[in-house]
Amino acid sequence: MAAEVERSRASYLHAARLKDAGLPFSRQASVAKVTATDAAMAVATDAVQVLGGNGYTREYPVERLFRDAKVTQIFEGTNQIQRMVIARDLLR
């Protein structure tokens, strides 16, 4: 789970550095969004599984994190839209 978080962090920092340098960054920003939100969902799923049935109860904070992780894949442009942005940029 820590590796997923580190990979996501490296991805968004790369996009931010490109933007700060005034270079094109839209593809890298889309890659960062897809990477981070997919990682959040995978990490949240693993956390729920570690707790077993308790992971689904509201008594554990991981239940809320699991629901929040799914929402991140949808808002600010769904991951499918971000994949289309990446594909268009690669085809240029």
* Residues in contact with 68: Cβ distance below 8 Å, sequence separation at least 6, in sequence order: 44
How far from 62 is each of 41, 49, 52, 71, 87, CA to CA, in Å? 11, 10, 11, 14, 34
76 is catalytic: yes
| Active-site annotation holder among 6, 59, 63, 76 | 76
Task: Supply 43's token pair.
Answer: 């990490």
CB 11 within 8 A of CB 36: yes
Active-site positions read: 76
